[in-house]
Amino acid sequence: MDIDTQTGALLAVGEGISQLLASEPVCVQYMAHFIAAAQRERQDEGRSAWPEAVQRVISGLQARSLEGVSRIYHVSSDYYSWPLYQRALCMRAPSKHHLCKLVVMENKRWRPTASANGWENAQYYCVIVQYVHSINTGAMADFVRSLDGNKVAKKHFNFRLTDASTTLELTGFGKNGVSPIGMTHELPIVLCAAIMRLSPPVLWLGAGHVDFKLALPVQDFVDKTQCLIADISAPNSDGEQATPPDA
């Protein structure tokens, strides 16, 4: 059996497992197992040896009462050379659709306005998107503009990804380790609406360091961060990751 045939067979098995996990009885069992594992792992003394950036994430989880429902995975140093299905398998994620990333988007035409809470018409937004989706910057501009009652003209919106140095400055996290928990600056967070439809309802993200990943229930994340939810992403045509591939 050649490598392409083997890969196809593995993908088929993975798809079957994903469909099984999404069924209601199995999904309930999966979530119970996930939470039980999170409760056990929070007592692991070995976590104290993890990098400082990961410790910041853990402190942030504790501050938001999320530590007891979250799991952190230490992954292989060559993790980002793997295809998405292999990354999901190594962390026992239900599917590649559950793998997400946080990117920082900047409004390049931003103009300051009076705002009730700083989340309407901010210059920078953290966007959490699935690896198998791409952000629609036009839809994002329309969404952000609507937060302030469309008071700002459309010409003042042009969202683009920030570079790695700006992301590091704003979040305190380097490439492939960016987490919405434990950021050095409080930035508004937008969760792509497609993530709300995941089953089982768990998302995987960066955990502060390139070799660590964070998983937690979607609704718990929404409740504790009070993030915005917006329909601003669309599936990639090939079902794989978009460019830029990792963040």
pLDDT per position as a tens digit, 12-61: 455 656 676 667 788 999 999 999 999 999 999 999 999 999 999 999 99
- Cα-Cα-Cα-Cα dihedral of 143, 147, 150, 156, to 10°? -70
Residue 243 pLDDT class (50, 70, 90 cuts): very low
Q: Given this model, what pLDDT does residue 26 score?
A: 85
- Angle in degrees, CA 16, 33, 208, rounded to 5: 90
Whether 211 contacts 108, CB under 8 Å? no
Beta bridge partners of 129: 101
* Nearest of 149, 165, 157 to residue 125 by alpha carbon: 157
Report the distance separating Cα 170 and Cα 186, nearest Å: 9
Q: Given this model, what pLDDT does residue 237 score?
A: 84
Report the distance separating Cα 182 and Cα 154, nearest Å: 32
| Structural domains in the chain plus CATH codes | 3-235 (3.90.960.10)
C-alpha 139: how far from its chain's center? 19
pLDDT digits (tens, 9 = 90+) for 199-226: 999 999 999 999 999 999 999 999 999 9
pTM more than 0.85: yes
What residue type is 133 in one-letter code? H
Q: Given this model, what pLDDT does residue 108 score?
A: 97
For the residues 85-96, what does the mean pLDDT come to?
95
Report the distance separating Cα 91 and Cα 177, nearest Å: 16
The torsion angles phi and psi of 187, rounded to 5 degrees, stand at -110, 150
pLDDT digits (tens, 9 = 90+) for 180-201: 999 999 999 999 999 999 999 9
Q: Given this model, what pLDDT does residue 93 score?
A: 96
pLDDT digits (tens, 9 = 90+) for 93-120: 999 999 999 999 999 999 887 655 578 8
Least confident of 31-35, 117-121, 161-165, 175-179: 117-121
Q: Given this model, what pLDDT does residue 24 score?
A: 77
For the residues 155-166, what does the mean pLDDT come to?
96
Report the distance separating Cα 101 and Cα 206, nearest Å: 7
Beta bridge partners of 229: 191
- Radius of gyration (C-alpha) of the chain in whole angstroms: 18
